[in-house]
Amino acid sequence: MTDIPFGFSLPGGGVPDPNNPQQMAQFIAQLQRLFTAPGSGPVNWELAQQIAVTQVRGDDPATTGRDQDAVADALRLADLWLEPVTGLPSGIRTTVAWTRQEWVKFTLPVWQKLCDPVAGHMVDAMTSLVPEQLRGQLGPMTSMMSTVGGALFGGQLGQALASLAGEVLASSDIGLPLGPSATAALLPANVRAYSQGLEIDEEEVRLYVALREAAHQRLFEHVPWLKSHILAAVETYAGGIKVNQAVVEDLFGKLDPMRPETMQELNIEGVFAPEDTPAQKAALARLETILALVEGWVTHVVDQAVANRLPNAVRLAEAFRRRRAAGGPAEETFATLVGLELRPRRLREAAAVWQALSEVRGVEGRDALWEHPDLLPSSDDFADPHGFAHSAGSGLEGLDFSVLKMNDEPEEGTSGHSGSPENNSGSGEGDDPETRDKGTEG
């Protein structure tokens, strides 16, 4: 049976047989339970995770001890190569080789923060279909609309996350701090497939991915305001997204609550309408600028680190620039679902600014701009990198770069990189043995 909501299946990944009443009853009961489960937000994340994991399970090679060792070695070497080209210290305490299912599991808490504001707009739009004067009398129906909206969004987000899980190469591959704090993670199966597509040796591609991952970790761990700044920029942009009420009404009109399988026919593409208000344009510009600055810095320092070291350094750099600028099919699907593109459109221009800052201010002077968001170049500064690099000096003269390293020294007894990922939600999932982490030497 393939005509089921979102490609959903029975526990364990089995597909229900339409001629087996017991299997169909189990499937419908499970689906109804997920649709009616109480939630604290606008997305049914239990459904999203279950669908994502179910869809990737069939093509998700287990990581081996050799994978774990190779990832740990690559990240260890990457950190050594980055030392001379950035003043920010290593941000890695734990290294791990993730399967695609593990990527879904350990990045889900951040996806929740990113997607809930957008999903809330759609759920509110569905609820508003009930006239306000009738909501008191139709309380259960209003609640049902919220529940169905959460399930609908959760189901399709689950599909999008499953697609992303098949493409991402590392935890920070799309430029967001998705994984547990101070945990550097690579996905060996995806790295292997990507290297085959490039026709470049897998070991060289893995090292290049490790360099990018290690560079991201330095930023996310040692620039205290950066994670919250990025998430706030996403939330601000999401807050201005408008919902196409006509599309929502059409979706709800196709749904038959007595027949959960009708969910298969629903698609939320087109629900989010672009908004051209000045406030929304400004929010999008701020988001695109910070994403470009993060990716531009990573690209710049990695280019410096690999100079004359990797035989295919130039090819890899260009391949990754194009990959980040263009995005893949899964990123396009995600953008359609949540109305948000995660691509740093001005990556090359941002990298040129960081290059100019290195030439004018040196490594520590360049990285000192991460001390505060107000010190960073704006999108207007991208047009004149050297002009900004020279003018930025006046704002940096009194800065002590060591402040960026405050509290960076590990506490006694925690200097190593071994340990299990700490789940961002604080739920304690970080102690899950499924992570199968492999420590690196300090």
Q: Could you give the angle at the alpha carbon of 82 between the alpha carbons of 77 and 88, nearest 5°?
A: 130
Q: How far is 6 from 58, CA to CA, in rounded Å?
A: 15
Name the DSSP letter for residue 61. P
Query: How do residues 248-278 score in pLDDT, each as one tens digit?
Result: 677 666 666 555 555 555 666 666 666 667 8
Among 406, 352, 433, 399, smallest CA distance to 88 is for 406
The two beta strands, 242-243 and 272-273, are antiparallel
The two beta strands, 94-97 and 183-186, are parallel
Q: Report DSSP letters for 200-224, one per residue.
A: S-HHHHHHHHHHHHHHHHHHHHHST
Q: How far is 193 from 185, CA to CA, in rounded Å?
A: 17
How many C-beta atoms surround the C-beta of residue 89 within 10 A?
A: 17
Residue 173 to residues 119, 215, 293, 356, 387, Cα–Cα distance (Å): 24, 11, 15, 25, 31
Q: How far is 144 from 138, CA to CA, in rounded Å?
A: 10
In the chain, where the domains are located = 39-281+310-340
What is the structure's pLDDT at 151?
A: 78
SS3 of 245-273: the string is: HHHHHHHHHHCCCCCHHHHHHCCCCCCEE
**Which CATH fold topology does 39-281+310-340 show?**
Lysin (1.20.150)
Among 144, 150, 117, smallest CA distance to 130 is for 144
First vs last C-alpha separation in the chain: 51
Q: How far is 105 from 111, CA to CA, in rounded Å?
A: 10
Residues of the chain with pLDDT below 50 are 1-14, 134, 138, 395, 398-442
Among 297, 299, 292, smallest CA distance to 346 is for 292
Six token digits for residue 178: 């998705």
Read off φ and ψ for residue 95, nearest 5 degrees.
-115, 145
Query: How do residues 36-76 score in pLDDT, each as one tens digit?
Result: 555 557 788 888 898 899 899 889 999 999 999 999 999 99
What is the structure's pLDDT at 8?
A: 43
Contact 219, 102 (CB under 8 A): no
Residue corresponding to tokens 């290195």: 358
Q: Which long-range contacts (CB under 8 A, 24 or more apart) does 246-255 make?
A: 247/271, 248/122, 248/125, 248/126, 248/129, 249/129, 251/126, 251/152, 252/126, 252/129, 252/145, 252/148, 255/148
Hey, is 19 helix, strand or coil? coil
What is the structure's pLDDT at 58?
A: 86
Among 75, 104, 108, smallest CA distance to 92 is for 75
